[in-house]
Amino acid sequence: MEVNLGKIPFDLVFHPSSPILATGLINGDLHLYQYAADSQPQRLLEIHAHDESCRAARFIDSGRVILTASADCSILASDVETGNSIIRLEDAHEDPVNRLVNLMENTVATGDDEGCIKVWDTRERTCCNTFDAHEDYISDLTFVSTSMQVLATSGDGTLSVCDLRKNKVKVQSEFSEDEPLSIVTMKNGRKVVCGTQTGAILLYSWGYFKDCNDRFLGHPMSVTVLKLDEDTLISGADDGVIRLVGILPNRIIQPIAEHSECPVEGLAFSHDRKFLGSISHDQMLKLWDLQELLNSQQNLPNDHHVGASDSDDDEEMDVDIKPPKSSMGSKRKSKSGASSARGAGFFADL
């Protein structure tokens, strides 16, 4: 199933309980679609949410409200049923907002083009924490609920850990030439995995974030990653190919889908994990039956290694061992370019 969005999409997010998805587009529009297994997705709403690109979107309040963040520095809350604007924070950040992630029930975090991360109280509609974590754009954010920490990757070539309990940046990695673009936690929280601009995948051991302790090659440029389970992720890359990837041992298992040689911009699972959604610079939104993708992979020949790892024995890297120190680089990367019941939740009518 696929939809021609007509513009380059920046983000893709599924509703937490209903067969609805949303995409933010380069022209500032937000599209909401309803999907089903037997038919093409049907557009429910088209909202001109922002004056500049709509870079990020997330559902909140059990899916009754959708938040969008934009290059125009604003955050907008819209009613999912009607599309009506609930509230807009015009100057949520001083710089263009690039990423948005759900934290706890009543908090979200946003990251901007100058490396600032803000945490928002969704009941009070206020910023409750600010972390000046990076010197360049925030490329991705993920929340680790067990330790109450936000992990961020940035165009400055580093990864940071922001402690919500202590309200400080706990640690920041050393500079990497492999500019990190996306981040997930795997191996039951013992590993942090980053897709990068160069195509390498970086692995960090939890608690030892100063430098990665493993990296492996095999992808072309610009890798975005989505966790499938504790041992496997799904990647999208600059060549438009979506791949199944094993972590420790590190291997590209098999290509499973593609986007006509255009870079994959984002990947997401539906709430029931029946569908994999993907968006690309080909302006297409595609929905894939996840079980069919995985079943087709199982019918192919045995896994094959198509990249090189910096580790001699990938299996050994599953043990947390403090990596050797490396020198800190100073190169600054450039920003990426055309890189309804209302309760007490965020931006709700009072």
What is the predicted pLDDT for the residue at 327? 32
What is the predicted pLDDT for the residue at 160? 96
- Joined together, the tokens standing for residue 72 give 């125009």
What is the predicted pLDDT for the residue at 105? 87
pLDDT one-digit tens code per residue, 191-221 = 999 999 999 999 999 989 999 999 999 999 9
Residue 170: which pLDDT band, with cuts at 50, 70 and 90? very high
Counting residues of the chain whose pLDDT is more than 70, the rounded percentage is 85
Cα 202 from Cα 215, distance rounded (Å): 4
Between 284 and 301, the more confident residue is 284
Buried b (16+ CB within 10 A) or exposed e, 143-163: beeebebbbbbbbbbbbbbbb
Between 318 and 3, the more confident residue is 3
- Joined together, the tokens standing for residue 246 give 């094993």
Residue 124: which pLDDT band, with cuts at 50, 70 and 90? confident
Rounded to an integer, the average pLDDT of 88-105 is 95
What is the predicted pLDDT for the residue at 296? 75
Please give the backbone phi and psi of residue 167, each rounded to the nearest 5 degrees, phi first: 55, 45
At position 332, the amino acid (one-letter code) is R
pLDDT one-digit tens code per residue, 333-349 = 334 343 433 233 444 43
Residue 295: which pLDDT band, with cuts at 50, 70 and 90? confident
Cα 192 from Cα 323, distance rounded (Å): 14
Please give the backbone phi and psi of residue 41, each rounded to the nearest 5 degrees, phi first: -60, 140
Cα 8 from Cα 259, distance rounded (Å): 13
pLDDT at 307 over 60: no
Cα 164 from Cα 80, distance rounded (Å): 29
In contact, 278 and 266? CB cutoff 8 Å: yes
Cα 8 from Cα 152, distance rounded (Å): 24
pLDDT at 262 over 80: yes
pLDDT one-digit tens code per residue, 41-84 = 999 999 999 999 999 999 999 999 999 999 999 999 999 999 99
Residue 287: which pLDDT band, with cuts at 50, 70 and 90? very high
Where are the strands (E) in 97-223, listed by range? 97-102, 107-112, 116-121, 126-132, 138-144, 149-154, 159-163, 168-172, 180-186, 191-196, 201-205, 214-216
Predicted TM-score (pTM) of this structure: 0.85
In contact, 135 and 142? CB cutoff 8 Å: no
pLDDT at 324 over 70: no
Cα 57 from Cα 30, distance rounded (Å): 9
pLDDT one-digit tens code per residue, 13-44 = 999 999 999 999 999 999 999 999 888 999 99
Cα 154 from Cα 134, distance rounded (Å): 7
Q: Give the distance, in angstroms, between the CA of residue 116 and the centroid of all CA atoms in the same chain.
A: 17
Buried b (16+ CB within 10 A) or exposed e, 263-284: bbbbbbbbbeeebbbbbbbbbb
What is the predicted pLDDT for the residue at 299? 54
138-144 β-sheet, strand order: 138-144, 149-154, 159-163, 168-172
Please give the backbone phi and psi of residue 312, each rounded to the nearest 5 degrees, phi first: -70, -30
Residue 309: which pLDDT band, with cuts at 50, 70 and 90? low
pLDDT one-digit tens code per residue, 131-147 = 999 999 999 999 999 99
Chain mean pLDDT for the chain: 86
